[in-house]
């Protein structure tokens, strides 16, 4: 996409606060001194068989971009590609119901949508959210000395492949589904509360943990250090990650995307690299925050209803091209 966008001269506007110049999670447009609109869109093919759960996951994934910018969602538009000759309309209804359930949970509303007939089922949403113009969080402002927090475990890509092949236990399926449908609203509310202490934020999705960390490092012109021993993983993940049969194409493309910008210590085993490059669906938020506010933030996050959160690394120094070190 970066190559496709290269050379295109988009219109400029002083009210466009976040646009195509950075690989950010959403666009942001200033409406007034108090309000800016966040706009994002995402859709994909099913990663689970249950249509209602697929709708929930797709909605939570789309909503995550708004939360990553420090905002809260307002409206949603459904995007549907549906093979009407191959699947019953009841399946589509369940997908839409699942998506609507998550949108309602986020205290937003579905305002409409668009559908096309397609040979391959796809579903997602376009989300409009709201944030104060001075409280926007992008992936391009991480400050040296700030700690990195992550709000969900890693491994959904590898484990989704295991599920499709009938190799995952029911307990594993339940764990990753619960994570993927979980909204990042508690994190967004905590981000708003500690806005002055948070320098950058992004959500972890298709480019994997290292792909999105790379975008934060390059956008912020810093070096990020990740502690491989603090990587939060789902149960039994390493068993699957050590087997080539469960590697996705995204794992390979994410490695190519990051390239030489990541440096691994000799002690970091290949299985951990696979986890860090694993493409995520509806992953957590990666938050850069002042070190003296970490514990207060964690407390606020849990008070707002958040479940999992851990410290996984830090911003160590300036770096013109951006760099990641995994130790």
Tell me how long the chain is.
Answer: 327
Same domain, 130 and 142: no
Nearest Cα to Cα of residue 211 among 285, 262, 176: 262
The span from the CA of 88 to the CA of 155, in Å, is 31
Is 141 a residue whose pLDDT tops 90? yes
Chain-centre distance of CA 226, in angstroms?
Answer: 18
Segments forming the whole domain that contains residue 280: 138-326
Is 217 a residue whose pLDDT tops 80? yes
Mean pLDDT of the chain: 95
The span from the CA of 142 to the CA of 326, in Å, is 17
88 C-beta neighbours (distance < 10 Å), count: 10
Q: What is the pLDDT of residue 21?
A: 77
The span from the CA of 289 to the CA of 200, in Å, is 8
- The tokens for 88 are 């019953």
Q: What is the pLDDT of residue 12?
A: 87
Same domain, 199 and 173: yes
Identify the CATH number of the domain in which residue 35 sits.
Answer: 3.30.1330.10
85, 110, 134 — which closes off a domain?
A: 134
Nearest Cα to Cα of residue 216 among 153, 278, 262: 262
Rounded mean pLDDT of 214-227? 96
Same domain, 171 and 296: yes
Q: What is the pLDDT of residue 313?
A: 97
118, 134, 150 — which closes off a domain?
A: 134
Find all residues with CB under 8 Å of 253, minimum gap 6, and list them: none
Rounded mean pLDDT of 222-238? 95
Rounded mean pLDDT of 248-263? 93
Which helix (H) or strand (E) element contains residue 275?
helix 270-277
Q: What is the pLDDT of residue 7?
A: 78
Beta 262-264 vs 323-326: how paired, if at all?
A: parallel
Is 6 a residue whose pLDDT tops 80? no
Confidence of residue 151 (pLDDT cuts 50, 70, 90): very high
pLDDT over 70 percentage in the chain: 99
Is 8 a residue whose pLDDT tops 90? no
The span from the CA of 61 to the CA of 281, in Å, is 7
113, 134, 155 — which closes off a domain?
A: 134
Identify the CATH number of the domain in which residue 159 sits.
Answer: 3.90.650.10
Structurally, the chain folds into a number of domains equal to 2
pLDDT in tens, 30-84: 999 999 999 999 999 998 999 999 999 999 999 999 999 999 999 999 999 999 9
Is 87 a residue whose pLDDT tops 80? yes
Same domain, 16 and 82: yes
Contact predicate 184/106, CB 8 Å: no
DSSP of 295-313: HHHHHHHHHTT----EEEE
Q: What is the pLDDT of residue 267?
A: 95
Is 122 a residue whose pLDDT tops 80? yes
Same domain, 111 and 243: no
**pTM of this structure:** 0.94
Same domain, 154 and 270: yes
Q: What is the pLDDT of residue 2?
A: 67
Same domain, 120 and 148: no
Same domain, 86 and 27: yes
Same domain, 145 and 100: no
pLDDT in tens, 9-36: 888 899 999 988 777 889 999 999 999 9
Contact predicate 15/95, CB 8 Å: no
Rounded mean pLDDT of 101-120? 97
Contact predicate 226/324, CB 8 Å: yes
Confidence of residue 187 (pLDDT cuts 50, 70, 90): very high
Rounded mean pLDDT of 89-103? 98
Rounded mean pLDDT of 98-110? 98
Find all residues with CB under 8 Å of 176, minimum gap 6, and list them: 155, 156, 159, 160, 163, 234
- The tokens for 124 are 């997602």
Is 120 a residue whose pLDDT tops 70? yes
Contact predicate 277/156, CB 8 Å: no
Same domain, 222 and 311: yes
DSSP of 229-268: GG--B-TTHHHHHTSGGG--HHHHHHHHHHGGGEEE-TTS
Same domain, 52 and 98: yes
Same domain, 149 and 95: no
DSSP code, position 154? B
């Amino acid at each position: 996409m970066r190559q496709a966008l290269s050379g295109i001269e988009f219109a400029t506007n002083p009210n466009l606060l976040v646009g195509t110049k950075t690989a950010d999670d959403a666009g942001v447009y200033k409406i007034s001194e108090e309000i800016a609109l966040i706009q994002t869109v995402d859709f994909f093919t099913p990663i689970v068989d249950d249509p209602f759960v697929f709708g929930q996951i797709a909605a939570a994934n789309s909503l995550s971009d708004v939360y990553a910018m420090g905002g809260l969602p307002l409206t949603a538009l459904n995007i549907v590609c549906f093979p009407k000759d191959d699947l019953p309309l009841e399946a589509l209804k369940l997908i839409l119901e699942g998506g609507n359930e998550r949108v309602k949970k986020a205290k937003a509303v579905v305002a409409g949508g668009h559908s096309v007939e397609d040979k391959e089922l796809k579903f997602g949403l376009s989300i409009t959210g709201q944030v104060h113009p001075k409280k926007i969080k992008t992936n391009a402002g991480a400050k040296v000395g700030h700690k990195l927090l992550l709000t969900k475990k890693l491994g959904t890509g590898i484990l989704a492949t295991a599920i499709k092949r009938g190799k995952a236990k029911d307990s594993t399926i339940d764990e990753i589904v619960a994570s993927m449908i979980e909204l990042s609203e508690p994190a967004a509310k905590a981000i708003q509360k500690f806005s002055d202490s948070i320098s950058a934020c992004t959500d972890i999705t298709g480019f994997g943990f290292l792909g999105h960390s790379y975008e934060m490092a390059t956008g912020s012109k810093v070096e990020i250090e990740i502690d491989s021993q603090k990587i939060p993983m789902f149960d039994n993940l390493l068993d699957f990650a050590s087997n080539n049969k469960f590697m996705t194409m995204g794992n390979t493309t994410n490695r190519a995307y990051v390239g030489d910008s990541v440096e691994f210590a000799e002690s970091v085993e290949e299985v951990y690299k696979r986890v860090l490059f694993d493409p995520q669906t509806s992953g957590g938020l990666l938050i850069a925050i002042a070190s003296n506010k970490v514990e207060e933030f964690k407390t606020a996050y849990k008070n707002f209803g958040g479940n999992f959160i851990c410290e996984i690394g830090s911003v160590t120094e300036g770096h013109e091209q951006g760099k990641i070190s995994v130790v």
